[in-house]
Amino acid sequence: MSGNPTACLLVIGNEVLSGRTQDANIKFLATRLGELGIPLREVRVIPDVRDTIVDTLNAVRPNFTYIFTTGGIGPTHDDITAECIAAAFGVPWEEHPEAMAIMGAHYEKTGSEFNAARRRMATMPRGATLIPNAVSVAPGFIIGNVYVMAGVPRIMQSMFEALAPSLVGGAPVQSRSVHAVGLLEGRIADGLSAIQARFPDLDIGSYPYERPTGNGVALVAKGTDAARAEAAAEAMAGLIRDLGLVPQFGEPAPAP
């Protein structure tokens, strides 16, 4: 996947780090980006702290094709993502005319006050372009290679699907899995290393699981060449057979 564009995700929010909120966006973005041929290569979870957001953003944005952020663009005092991104880019944080018009029309239609808190959600770095929000109106935005989205999963997913057609990806990431009940990682470590050496263009991993029907290990090969991923899966199945176990292709059944 070395020729594909790459992505990094910044999950911004004290509530995630405190354990109060369980992040549900990483899996969605990793899956959808993989389908677009943009492998998610790094995720950082950071607090609502100005210096941390600015420094982290400036550290990662030269190293990835796309930077996505989730969280911190609501109406309250701790929603500081937009102003921090403005600081990172060295541009003013100001009311965005198009966002102001969209949100003003919405609140007028609903008979609600377009107050100072709500105007914060239309305040963005100068030069930002909008990401539509079909769920709750307040848009996300794009500046440079940074895509800023809401933290609420349903809203984030809507924003992502709105911008997805504009993302330039590569070959879609292909995944092939094989697993076996009773398989232990300690027994397949050397064999799996040898398979990785045969397929250096793939990402090969092992993932233990626990199920009422029996514990085991899932072996996964990922890459942009489906035939190579299939060949690696067959090699991993052979490794399982050599241990006297029965390989099962695909992912193990979800835990109840």
> What phi, psi does 160 have (nearest 5°)?
-60, -45
With CA atoms as reference, report the closest residue to 15 among 185, 178, 152, 209. Answer: 152
Is it true that domain 175-249 has CATH number 3.30.70.260?
A: yes
Whether the per-residue pLDDT at 117 is higher than 80: the answer is yes
Which tens digit of pLDDT belongs to each residue from 197-207?
999 999 999 99
User: Helix or strand or coil: residue 225?
Assistant: coil
Segments making up each domain of the chain, as ranges: 7-166, 175-249
Q: Domain 7-166, what fold?
A: Molybdenum Cofactor Biosythetic Enzyme; Chain A (3.40.980)
Spatial contact of 174 and 199, defined as CB atoms under 8 Å apart: no
- Confidence (pLDDT) at 84: 98
With CA atoms as reference, report the closest residue to 21 among 217, 164, 140, 152. Answer: 152
User: Helix or strand or coil: residue 250?
Assistant: coil
pLDDT band at 3, cuts 50/70/90?
A: confident
Q: What is residue 166's DSSP assignment?
A: G
With CA atoms as reference, report the closest residue to 15 among 65, 74, 64. Answer: 74
* Helix (H) or strand (E) run with residue 50 in it: helix 50-60
Q: What's the whole-number mean pLDDT along residues 158-185?
A: 95
pLDDT band at 160, cuts 50/70/90?
A: very high
Whether the per-residue pLDDT at 1 is higher than 70: the answer is no
C-alpha separations of 194 from 23, 113, 200, 224 in Å: 35, 64, 10, 20
- Confidence (pLDDT) at 157: 98
Which tens digit of pLDDT belongs to each residue from 4-55?
899 999 999 999 999 999 999 999 999 999 999 999 999 999 999 999 999 9
* Helix (H) or strand (E) run with residue 206 in it: strand 203-209
Flag whether the pTM goes above 0.75: yes
Whether the per-residue pLDDT at 159 is higher than 80: the answer is yes
- Confidence (pLDDT) at 2: 56
Which tens digit of pLDDT belongs to each residue from 58-91?
999 999 999 999 999 999 999 999 999 999 999 9
- Confidence (pLDDT) at 255: 82
Indicate the average pLDDT of the chain. 95
Q: What's the whole-number mean pLDDT along residues 174-199?
A: 96
Give the percent of the chain with pLDDT over 90: 95
- Confidence (pLDDT) at 92: 98
Spatial contact of 126 and 85, defined as CB atoms under 8 Å apart: no
Which tens digit of pLDDT belongs to each residue from 118-132?
999 999 999 999 999
